[in-house]
Amino acid sequence: MSDDSDIQPLVFMMGNFAAEFPIDRQYAKNHMWAEARDGVWRFGFSAYAVRLLQDVYFLDWSVDAGTTLREKHEIGSIESKKAESSLYAPIAGRLVRFNEELLSDPSAINLDKYGAGWIFEIEGSGESLLSPQGYMEHLAGVWEVTQRTIKGQMNE
Amino acid sequence: MAKRIAVVVSQGQSAAPAKRQLEEDIVAALLMEPGIDVVVVPHLYDLKADGTGILALRGIMGNMIVLSWLYERGARWTLDRAGIRGKEGLTTIKAADDEDEEEENEDNEEQGVDDKERVNDSREIPNRKIYCLDLRVHSAAQPYIDEVKRIARENSMQLVSLGIGMELGGRPKTEQLARLAQPTNDTALPLHPHPSPLPKGEGAAALTRIDEELGRRWYPVIDYSRCTNCMECIDFCLFGVYGVDKVETILVEQPDNCRKGCPACSRVCPENAIIFPQHKTPTIAGASIVAESLKIDLSKLFGAPETGETAEQAAVRERDEQLVLAGREAVGASVGLPKRHEAKSAEPKDELDSLIDALDKF
C-alpha cells in the first residue's frame, strides 16, 4: 500500500466494512485495479473483490503467458474461503505474465492486495478502465446486485 | 495371514487449511492401523511421467486405495494413463445426493455394454484392485478412515477365501494352490505384494512422503470403460495429443501437446469417455453426477459472459481459439466432425449435449 499519507484512498462502505481504493491507479469493472507500468497494465484484485473472496487458497490459469485475450476472455479460476469463481480478462490485449509466486502461495492477495498481491500484466489499451471516482460510482450501482447474488446463492 | 494394503494420499493444489488438515488427519489416523502402508504424493494429476511420485506408485504391486481431490473416475483414469492399472475397487464414499442418479447411470451403462464393445473389455488388467476415494465428498477424516479400514478388512477376507480354495471352485489340487502362490501368467500379481520393512506380525504402518517440484499440467485421460475406440477424438484434435498403440487402440500419446484449458475433444466424444480432471465443468472432470458446490460462484461478478452454445459449437470455438493462439488457421466445423454433422441433421441434440448445455448455463 502507498505510504503517502497526503493521498487519501477513496472508501466504499460494504455494509460495515470500509473498502479502500488508492487513487494512484485505474480500475476495471470486474473489480480489479490497474496500474500503468512500462507499457503494460498490472492488475490485481480491488478491496471490494478481496472482501468478498476473503482468504485466497488457490489460483489456476487456463491460458499461458503470451496469449492474446479479448475482453472477458476466461483465463483461470480462483478458490477462496468464501468463493469459487472463474476469472476473466479485464481488458483486451496480450497477457504478458502472471505473478507466478501466487501459484504456490496466494496469500499475498490478502496481505498486500495493492502491491505484492498483483495478479497479472496485460499489454493493451486501457481506455475502458475507470478512474477511481468512476469505479466508486460503478460500485454504488452494483452493490445491491452483489448482495442479492450472494444472498440468492446462499439460500439455494 | 495379514495382507498389507497401500494407501496413497494425493495432496491438493489448494492451500486451503481445511483441505491440508483433512489430508494430515487421515494420514495420522492410518498410521495407527495395522496392515496399512501410507504414501503421500503431490497432486496426482500433476505428477511427471517418470518422476519419483509415479515411480513410487508403479512400485505398489498389490491392492491400493487412492485418496485424491479428484472425482473417482478422474483419479482412476489418470492412474491408468500413468501405467498404474487394476480392477475397479468399489467404495462406499459417494456424494450424498448421488444414489438415485447412480442407479440410473448404471442402467444406462448396462444398456451401453449390451450393444457396444468398450476398449476395457479387451484390455489386460492386472489382477489387483484400485479403490479411488474423492476427498471432496466429506469434510471430516473419519468417513475416509472407516472406509479404508473397511476395504482393508475386505482385502484380508479375500485372501482367506482364496486360501481355502473358494475362488478355485471346490477342492483345489496341490498344483493349483502352488500356481496361486506362484502365478505363471504375467497379469497376476504376487499375493504378498508388500515386503514390509517391519518384522512379520508387527502391524504398524510405513509412511513414505514424496516431494516433487511440480508445474501444473493439463491433458486428457481416457475412460476405457466407456471408450469404444471410435477415433472421433483423434480426428478432432489438431494438436497431436492422441495416437494409437500397437493394436490400434486410441491413447493419449502426447499429453503435453494438449492446449492448456482446452477441453474441446471431451465435448465431441460421443461416449463422454474423455476426462479433463481439472476442468470446472463436473461432467468433463469425471463426475458421474453433478455435485452442488457449497461455495458461492462469483463468476458473474468477475465478468462471466452469457453463452447459449451447444457442446459442439463450444468445442469448435475452443479449438479455433487454440489454433489461432498457436499461430495456425482456424478451421471452424470443417475438420474432424463429419459423422456428428450427419447425425445432427436428424437429431438436433443428444442427451449429453443437453446435459452439458444445462451445466454451462448453470
Q: Which candidate from B15, B261, B304 shows the least CB-CB separation from A58?
A: B15
Higher confidence at residue B346 or residue B279?
B279
Tell me: pLDDT of B331 over 50. Answer: yes
Task: Kindly identify which residue of chain B lies nearest to residue A31, measuring between CA atoms.
Answer: B302
**pLDDT tens across B198-230, in order?**
444 455 668 999 988 888 999 999 999 999 999
Chain B CB contacts of A87 under 8 Å are: 302
Distances (CA, A) of B345 to A146, A155, B313, B342, B348: 42, 41, 15, 6, 6
Question: How many other C-beta atoms are found inside a 10 Å radius of the C-beta of residue B297?
Answer: 17
What is the enclosing helix (H) or strand (E) of A74? Answer: strand A74-80
Q: Is the pTM of this model over 0.80?
A: no
Distance, in angstroms, between A7 CA and closest chain B CA? 28
Q: Which of residues 88-117 of A touch B (CB under 8 A)?
A: 88-90, 103, 105-107
More confident: A155 or B321? B321
Q: Is B102 helix (H, G, I), strand (E, B) or coil?
A: helix
Residue of B nearest to A71 (CA): B303
- Look at residue B94 in the predicted model and tell me its pLDDT: 85
B104-118, B127-141, B297-311: range with lowest mean pLDDT: B104-118
Per the CB < 8 A criterion, the answer to whether B227 and B80 are in contact is no
Q: Report the chain A residue with the minimal C-alpha distance to residue B14.
A: A58
User: Which chain A residue shows the shortest CA-CA distance from B262?
Assistant: A62
pLDDT at B201: 43
Q: How far is A5 from chain B (nearest CA, A)?
A: 31
Find the residue in B nearest to A58 (Cα).
B14
**pLDDT the model gives residue B215:** 85
3-state DSSP assignment of residue B221? strand
* pLDDT of B321 above 80: yes
Per-residue confidence (pLDDT) for residue A56, from 0 to 100 = 95
Average pLDDT over residues B150-177: 63
Q: What is the pLDDT of residue B131?
A: 97
Q: What is the structure's pLDDT at B199?
A: 41
**CB contact A128 to B (< 8 Å):** no
**Whether B301 contacts chain A with CB within 8 A:** yes
Q: How far is A156 from chain B (nearest CA, A)?
A: 10
Cβ–Cβ below 8 Å for B304 and A53? no
Count the Cβ atoms, other than its own, within 10 Å of residue B51. Answer: 17
Q: Does B246 touch chain A (CB under 8 A)?
A: no
| Phi, psi dihedral angles at B336 (to 5 degrees) | 80, 10
Distance (Å) from the C-alpha of residue B279 to the closest C-alpha of chain A?
9
Q: Residue B309 has what pLDDT?
A: 80
State the nearest Cα–Cα gap between B269 and chain A, in angstroms: 21
What pLDDT score does B172 carry? 57
Contact check, Cβ <8 Å, A57/B300:
no
More confident residue, B253 or A1: B253
Q: Check CB contact under 8 Å for B303 and A30.
A: yes
Cα R_g (chain B), whole angstroms: 22
| Mean of pLDDT values over B67-84 | 96
Contact B296 A63 (CB under 8 A): no
> What was the pLDDT predicted at B114?
54
Grid cell listed for A20: 479502500
B305 touches chain A (CB under 8 A): yes
Q: Which residue of A has its CA nearest to B213?
A: A104
Q: Show the domains of chain A with their CATH numbers.
A: 10-155 (2.40.50.100)
Q: Is the CB of A143 inside 8 Å of chain B's CB atoms?
A: no
Rounded CA-CA distance B337/B46 in Å is 31
The residue ranking higher by pLDDT, A82 or B87, is: B87
Lowest mean pLDDT across A137-151, B125-139, B337-351? B337-351
Q: Which of B5-14, B51-60, B75-84, B352-361 has the lowest mean pLDDT?
A: B352-361
Instruction: Find where cell 460510482 sits.
Output: A137
Predicted pLDDT at A130: 97
Buried b (16+ CB within 10 A) or exposed e, A71-108: bbbbbbbbbbebbbbbbbbbbebebbebbeebeeebeb
pLDDT for residue B337 is more than 90:
no
What value, to the nearest 5°, has the Cα angle with vertex B9 and ends B3 and B13? Answer: 170
Confidence of residue B184 (pLDDT cuts 50, 70, 90): low
Partners of B301 on chain A (C-beta within 8 Å) are: 30-31, 49, 52, 85, 146, 149
pLDDT, tens digit, for every residue of B107-116? Answer: 444 444 457 8
Q: Do residue B298 and residue A85 have CB atoms under 8 angstroms apart?
A: yes
Residue A2: Cβ within 10 Å count? 13
Range 25-44 of A in CB contact (< 8 A) with B = 29-31
Residues of B whose CB is below 8 A from A51 = none
Q: What is the mean pLDDT of residues B59-71?
A: 95
Is pLDDT at B34 greater than 60 in this prediction? yes
Judged by a CB distance cut-off of 8 A, whether residue A147 touches chain B is: no
Percent above pLDDT 90 for chain B = 54
* Residue A29 near residue A138 (C-beta atoms within 8 A): yes
| The pLDDT value given to residue B3 | 75
C-alpha cell at A153: 446463492
Which residue of chain B is at minimal alpha-carbon distance from A79?
Answer: B14
Q: In this complex, which of A88, A90, A146 lies closest to B304 when CB atoms are compared?
A: A88
Per-residue pLDDT of chain A (156 residues; tens, 9 = 90+): 545 545 899 999 998 899 999 999 999 999 999 999 989 999 999 999 999 999 999 999 999 899 999 888 899 999 998 888 999 999 999 999 999 999 989 999 999 999 999 999 999 999 999 999 999 999 999 998 888 877 766 554
Could you read off the pLDDT of B263-281 as tens digits, one per residue? Answer: 999 999 999 999 999 998 8
- Position B108 scores a pLDDT of 47
Strand partners, B8: B39, B66
pLDDT reported for residue B75 = 97
